[in-house]
């Protein structure tokens, strides 16, 4: 529905409140050019793993997202999303399990780095028996993850969530975007890489 098709323009300024139960999420799709803002009023909530700050209105125009709460929360939505509904069946528990495995792998890598520094050497690229390690098993290197899947299967959501959780744990994960479908049209077949140090 385009804005011109809306019989009552005041709907574009409507404010609705949502009381989410714990481990539920509010899913919404917002059209570009139509102002939609969300604001956390009570409790705690996050979008793609990034915490919402209580009382701060966040512009979500043109986005497809889910606001998740671990403990329950009250949200205010101003504007008219194209679609909005509450869901209790979310993939966040699976994402959290993967995050815990990555956290443990990072902690192990840091511990190996410290042990190598105390021993006075660089990370070893060889096993004790002289056998060469594959590059992804070099001591002191953090985990490497590749996320693949068909279109609209949640790859971007999982990636953003894991990056934000990693940052919240005080890590600085590096992200390499190999999805040429999402590349800037002016830079066809390009890839991007960046260190993540903020949500």
Q: Residues 98-115: pLDDT tens digits?
A: 999 999 988 988 888 888
The answer to whether residues 39 and 57 touch, using CB atoms and an 8 Å cutoff, is: yes
pLDDT of residue 22: 96
pLDDT of residue 27: 97
Read off the pLDDT of residues 167-195 as tens digits, 9 standing for 90 and up.
999 998 888 888 766 544 444 445 555 66
Q: Once rounded to an integer, what is the mean pLDDT over residues 32-54?
A: 95
In tens, the pLDDT along 115-170 reads 877 877 655 555 555 565 555 555 667 888 999 999 888 999 999 999 999 999 99
Task: Name the residue with higher pLDDT: 77 or 128.
Answer: 77
How many CB atoms within 10 Å of residue 184? 8
Burial of 53 from C-beta contacts in 10 A (0-12 / 13-18 / 19+): exposed
Q: Is residue 73 scored above 80 in pLDDT?
A: yes
Q: Can you tell me the distance from the alpha carbon of 30 to that of 60, in angstroms, rounded to the nearest whole number? A: 7
Give me the residue label for tokens 């077949």: 189
Domains along the sequence of the chain with CATH? 3-87 (2.60.120.1030), 92-119+132-195 (no CATH)
Structure tokens at 193: 């890489």
Tell me the whole-structure pTM to 2 decimals: 0.76
């Amino acid at each position: 529905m385009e804005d011109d098709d809306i019989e009552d323009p005041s709907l574009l300024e409507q404010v609705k409140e949502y009381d989410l139960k714990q481990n539920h999420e509010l899913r919404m799709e917002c059209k570009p050019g139509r102002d939609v803002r969300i604001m956390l009023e009570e409790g705690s909530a996050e979008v793609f793993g990034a915490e919402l700050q209580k009382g701060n209105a966040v512009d979500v125009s043109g986005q497809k997202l889910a606001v998740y709460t671990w403990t329950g929360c009250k949200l205010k939505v101003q504007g008219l999303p194209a679609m909005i509904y509450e869901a209790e069946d979310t993939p966040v528990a699976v994402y959290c399990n993967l995050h815990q495995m990555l956290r443990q792998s990072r902690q192990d890598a840091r511990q190996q780095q410290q042990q190598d520094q105390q021993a006075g050497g660089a990370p070893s690229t060889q096993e004790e028996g002289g056998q060469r390690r594959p590059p992804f098993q070099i001591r002191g290197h953090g985990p490497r993850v590749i996320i693949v899947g068909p279109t609209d299967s949640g790859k971007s959501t999982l990636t953003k969530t894991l990056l934000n959780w990693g940052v919240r744990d005080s890590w600085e994960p590096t992200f390499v975007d190999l999805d040429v479908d999402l590349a800037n049209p002016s830079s066809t077949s390009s890839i991007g890489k960046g260190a993540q140090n903020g949500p």
